[in-house]
Structure 1
């Protein structure tokens, strides 16, 4: 049986977070079961973008700080790193993101090592059927133990971003955008993610679900107070439990469903031992799903018809400031600046990867149904959900 612990913390109060983390590890047999004193432990955090902790886009710095304290008490050397999303011609987006999120401060104040994967160098590993070559930040291979420190969020493309999706950040810089270009369907992209995950499989997954995100995540949704920390030595199992909390169908989160089929982890909820808080007792209201996934809530016999009717595309809002971050980050060069200094999208080139929506620093790109009838159905489905 795979094991997943769920503990409660309803705030980011340092004592509450520390207690939830320590209790979670104790339920799994103690941190000493997975990490030895003296080892180099890399916390692969989620630093998607330069946002404040209160926006709940990234792993909260308090969870990271308390995790550092636990590992240092255990006698470990601690590294913390990631590569953010997006590309910026005027500077390094990851460096800025680490500062704005408060992660750099909490890491440095505790004497841990801060790593920007865009500048640590990388190794090239043989990929699979989708990603032919895997560009992976060197610290992943230099650490003795890797822990995926994920954030519990919905995601417009993959529905859920948890322990598995979090590992996409080991890919430095522009290479992430290139992978979107190589895998232009959700099925291919999730398969590619799992090819990467197989190479960089973390020893532990710790999910910050104290305050997560629902709706059009992973950056433009709304805060969801779930009050949980989820820990497991198997990221597939951790994500399966997150899917049950959402809740959603097993097959709707392809990184979990395919990962289980590929033998990369346990996705059968009946073969996962949930320790501590039980899912049925959490009393968490269902998460709002992204607009892109409402079709999965329709009856099966309507699905093929609904896919086309409910197609979702990114749309630029009038408030766009023309910063060009989305343009520089588009993997297929489907965006440009108009004469009035607003971003525009060439839909004949758009592959619906939603990177522009995910990375827009001003949140002026929305995901909307291209079909008028789809908009009507979406409103009805959102009311029901």
Structure 2
């Protein structure tokens, strides 16, 4: 039976975070069961984009700092790294994200090693049916132990981003965008993520849910105060528990559903032992879901009738500043800059990967129902939106 520990931490005060982490690892038999003195331990954080800790897009620096302290206490050499999303004409999106998120500062303060996966070189591994080749940053194979340090958020494409989705950041730079081009349906993309996850399966997953994100995540949603840390040696099980907290159906989070079906982890909640605080005792109200996931809530016989009416597309708002970050990051070159210096979308080319919405630094791209009648139906069907 798989084990998932849930502990409480209601603020990001250093002592409260460390206490929550220690309690979680103690429930699982101790951190020493997973790491040994002298080992090189890579913390694969979520540094999606250049957002401050208060925006709750990235792994909070206090959670990262707490893990560094616990690992250094054992005698480990700690590395901290990621590859952010998007592309810039000048500068490094990952370097900027690590700095703005506060992660770089805490790593330097603790004497750990900060790694930008975009500049470390990569190895090419054989993929599967979706991602034919896997481009993975070299530190993933140089570390003795890999720990996924995820953030608990809703996600417009995959519904949930937790332990499994966090590992997408091991792919450096532009290669991530190319994967969206290769896998243009949600199911294909999630199966591709699992091909990647199989190759870089972390030894531990630690999920920052002290302050999570609901609504149109993973970067433009709203803060959801949950007061939890979730820890497991099985990211599939950890994500299954997050799905119960949302709550959503097992089959709605395809990385969990197919991860279980493919034998990559335990997704049957009956076979997952939740240690610490039980899910039903958390007192967390249902999350607002991304409006892209409304169709999944429909009875099967209705889905075919209204799916087109409920189609959700990215829409540029009037306050777009024309920074071109979305244009440079679009995997299918479906965006351009208009004469009045605003981003525009060619919907004939758009594959609805929502990368532009996810990466917009000013939140000026919203996910909208393309049909007015669909907007009306959406309000009737989902009271949580």
TM-score, structure 2 as length reference: 0.99
Question: Does 2:373 align with 1:373?
Answer: yes
Tell me, yes or no, if the aligned pair for 2:288 and 2:384 is still in contact at 8 Å.
Answer: no
2-structure distance, mates of 1:28, 1:304: 45
Q: State the 1:384 CA deviation.
A: 5.1
Name the structure 1 match of 2:210.
Answer: 210
Residues in 1 aligned to 2:15 and 2:362: alpha-carbon distance in whole angstroms = 34
Q: What is residue 227 of structure 1 aligned with on the other side?
A: 227
Q: Please report how far the alpha carbon of residue 216 of structure 1 lies from its aligned counterpart in structure 2 after TM superposition.
A: 0.2
Distance 1:134 1:205, change over 3 A: same
Q: Which aligned pairs between 1:220-369 and structure 2 lie closer than 5 A?
A: 220-369=220-369
Counterparts of 1:104-183 in structure 2 under 5 Å? 104-183=104-183
Contact 2:45 2:166 in 1 (8 A): yes
CA distance in 1, matches of 2:306, 2:199: 36
2:14 matched to which residue of 1?
A: 14
Q: Which moved more, 1:300-309 or 1:124-133?
A: 300-309
Structure-1 separation of matches of 2:226 and 2:382: 19
Asked whether the 8 Å contact 1:232–1:238 carries over to 2, the reply is yes
Q: Deviation at 1:309?
A: 1.4
Is the 1:87–1:329 contact (alpha carbons within 8 Å) kept by the matching residues of 2? Answer: yes
Distance in 2 (alpha carbons) for counterparts of 1:12 and 1:58: 14
Distance 2:59 2:219 in 1: 12
**TM-superposed deviation, 1:300:** 2.5
- Aligned equivalents of 2:51, 2:254: Cα separation in 1: 27
Pairwise CA distance, 1:42: 0.2
Q: Which runs of 4+ in 1 moved over 4 A?
A: none
User: Alignment partner of 1:309: what SS?
Assistant: coil
Number of matched pairs: 385
Deviation at 1:307, TM superposition (A): 1.8
Indicate the SS of the match to 2:17: helix
Matched-pair contact (CA < 8 Å) for 2:209–2:230: yes
Question: Is residue 155–residue 290 contact of structure 1 (8 Å, CA) maintained in 2?
Answer: yes
RMSD of aligned Cα (Å): 0.7
Contact 1:5 1:27 in 2 (8 A): yes
Tell me if structure 2 keeps the 8 A contact 1:190–1:254. yes
Structure 1 match to 2:57: 57
Asked if structure 2 preserves the Cα contact closer than 8 Å seen for 1:288 and 1:382, the reply is no
Larger deviation: 294-303 or 123-132? Answer: 294-303
Structure 1: gaps of 5 or more residues: none
Distance 1:11 1:169 in 2: 26
Shift of 1:137: 0.2
String of CA shifts for 1:65-104, please: whole Å, max 9, x gaps: 0100000001100000000000000111000111001000
- Which ranges of structure 2 fall in alignment gaps of 5 or more residues? none
| Alignment partners' CA distance in 2, 1:277 and 1:160 | 21
Task: Summarize deviations over 1:79-131 as a string: whole Å, max 9, x none.
Answer: 00000000000111000111001000000100000000000110000000000
Q: Is the 8 A contact 1:237 1:266 kept in 2?
A: yes
Give the Cα separation in 2 of the matches to 1:32 and 1:254. 32
Report what 1:201 is aligned to. 201
Mapped to 2, the partners of 1:17 and 1:50 lie a distance apart of: 23
